[in-house]
Amino acid sequence: MGDEESNEHLKIFKCLVDTGADVLRSAVERKLFNNNAITFKQYLHNAKHQFYHQFEKNRSKPCCSGNPHNCYVNGNMDKKIFNKVYNKTATSDTHHCLDRFEVKAGITTDDLDLSDLNFFLYNSNTLSQQETNTLQTIMSIRSSICHPDSSHCYSIDELQNIWLSLEQAVFFFAEPYRYRKLVTMHIKTLRSCKVHEIDSQKIINEMRTESEKILNELQMETQTQTDIITKSVKEETVELKNCIIDENDQTQSNFKKLTGLFIMIIDTSKYIWIE
């Protein structure tokens, strides 16, 4: 792969994790915080119960003060994301396991990377189908180009197509209109530049870090599917057990009825024989 392709590849990655992430931060603040009507800290406090259950699974103790542990929340929250936004206030979980966590002081959306932003947006239930598809496009581009070795896989025409898809996806989330104009100018400037040799190595190192995050996300997705299968098996096992119990109870009931009828027949027979 030539220098031109390598240069384009690194610039796409830079646009993705810098400009793309910044646009998604704006989307988080607009959608999840109701245009910053609440702070990120308040949002995390309000959603702590949901995120706790996505972080720690299969706990038998109460999840919060006065509530039994009978909650089931779909999805998994990466422990790195949970630990990024929450602090553990107690090392031992005696009674109220949810209450031992608190929102980290001073946490802001600036502390979130692309992977974190994707999690919060995807789990917010505020996205339209088109927004969900566009977010998936951004994350798919991330998966396809973030590996350093993938710079050897794309022709210049393919990279131009990736640029087009990325720009369209980023512009879609860039609101309001004047902010979109700034994003457009930023991407245009980035595309016209050449990556310096020193910057090139820095970006490659960032790509390696992003690659590790993707592998971790794949493991989390696998764990989610495992949890769903395990829950389904448990539910079916309980259902089968209840069915067996019901059948056994019915069998015993029928046996008792037959036994009573048999005794009545015997007693009647005795009475007839005596007569």
What are the pLDDT digits (tens) for 186-206? 898 888 887 765 466 666 666
CB 78 within 8 A of CB 119: yes
**Per-residue model confidence (pLDDT) at position 134:** 95
Instruction: Please check whether residue 23 lies inside any domain of the structure.
Output: yes
Instruction: Please check whether residue 199 lies inside any domain of the structure.
Output: yes
> How would residue 213 be classed by pLDDT, with cut points 50, 70 and 90?
low
Q: Is the peptide bond before 176 cis (omega within 30 degrees of 0)?
A: yes
What total number of domains does the chain contain? 1
Instruction: Please check whether residue 255 lies inside any domain of the structure.
Output: no
Domain hosting residue 96, numbered range: 3-224
Instruction: Please check whether residue 239 lies inside any domain of the structure.
Output: no
Q: For the segment 80-109, what is each residue's pLDDT rounded down to a tens digit?
A: 899 999 998 866 655 556 777 899 999 999
Instruction: Please check whether residue 101 lies inside any domain of the structure.
Output: yes
Instruction: Please check whether residue 72 lies inside any domain of the structure.
Output: yes
Instruction: Please check whether residue 243 lies inside any domain of the structure.
Output: no
Instruction: Please check whether residue 174 lies inside any domain of the structure.
Output: yes
Instruction: Please give the model's pTM, rounded to 2 decimal places.
Output: 0.69
